[in-house]
Amino acid sequence: MKQMTDYKFPVEIRSEAETYISYKRSLGFSVSAEDQRKLAYMLKFIYVHNNGNVSHLTEDVACSFLSQSEGCKPRTQHANQSLIRQYGLYLKLNGDDSYVYPATLIQCPKDFTPYIFTVEEITLILRQADQIGPNKNKFVNTPLIYPAVFRVLYACGTRVGETLALKTKDVDLEEGILTLHNGKNKVSRMIPMSDSLTKYLRRYAQKVDRSDGNPYFFPALHGECYSQTTILHTFKRLMKSAGIKPMSNGKYPRVHDLRHTYAVHALEASISKGMDPYCSLPALSIYMGHKGIESTEYYLRLTKQYFISVLNYTQEQANIIFPEV
């Protein structure tokens, strides 16, 4: 359940890997454990195909590395191209005459449509979460943490990573305010919680065991925070138990769809109160930690479709509520 923070690199690439990670972090990048795993794979490939030299990158080695992902999904190819390009730029910056992969990376399709849960589906999922018992390690906090995490994700629209990274000192249960540090785009923000969620978390905080001094608001074993992978797997299990069916592509909705759902439901609530949805966007944009209002406008389009598909509005009615801009 712990959240890994550092990858154990093989000795032959360790020095270069750690130096590169320090460089990326100095620029403000988080470089997660998964990022480090991918870096290790790339550096081991360069080490093997470049006579043990990972401080220089040739075009042949770069192209050979990328050829492994030919035929894979565009997103995978894009990620590998970006990885090898960024490393080439880093070596070039350090004075080495390394090859730099062109900036024209393969484009990822942008036709993905998130799943918007209904209020009834959210209720079913939370009921299942409330029935979770201790895990195989008999960790007493397990039945408390999952219901609390999923309530925060839905009721606040926060991202999974920034939610799990919350420290106890970041949660003001008197005023009902969460302080999120260094989220996506390196944005830190304070967000208010509803009265009902604040009361729920007060009860949670009274029950959760912190005898080991774990600083995280959602503590795992050994002083760690919960891992995103654990949350993702549990959420899928809860959806199955709640009777939620896979989407048309055969896949289940993602836990990140709770964030999309929060935004759509928040806009829906503002519209039901007679507010202009476009006037609500700036506040929602700040609340959700978006870089700009353009990102939040995406949710406005989702809300329009939600009104048509779920609330059974006609296209004409939806066009009146959501005029073109």
In the DSSP assignment, the letter for residue 94 is T
Tokens coding 75: 């997103």
Secondary structure (H, E, C), 137-183 = CCCCCHHHHHHHHHHHHHHHCCCHHHHHCCEHHHEECCCCEEEECCC
Tokens coding 286: 């700040």
For residue 17, give every residue at least 6 positions away whose Cβ sits within 8 Å of its Cβ, in sequence order, or none. Answer: 7, 9, 36, 39, 40, 43
Residue stretches of the chain with pLDDT short of 70 = 1-6, 109-112, 136-138, 182-187, 277-278, 280-282, 287, 290-313, 317-325
Return the pLDDT at 174.
95
CB 55 within 8 A of CB 16: yes
pLDDT in tens, 166-193: 999 999 999 999 998 765 655 678 889 9
pTM strictly above 0.75: no
For residue 138, CA distances in Å to 130, 133, 142, 237 come to 17, 9, 8, 19
Q: How many Å is the maximal CA-CA distance in the chain? A: 68
Amino acid at residue number 78: H
In the DSSP assignment, the letter for residue 186 is G
| Residues forming a β-bridge with 226 | 2
CB 178 within 8 A of CB 166: yes
Q: What is the DSSP string of 108-134?
A: PP---------HHHHHHHHHHHTT---
- In 3D space, the residue among 99, 100, 306 whose CA is nearest the CA of residue 322 turns out to be 306
pLDDT in tens, 186-226: 567 888 999 999 999 999 999 998 888 899 999 988 888 88
Return the pLDDT at 272.
77
Tokens coding 81: 């191209």
Return the pLDDT at 300.
64
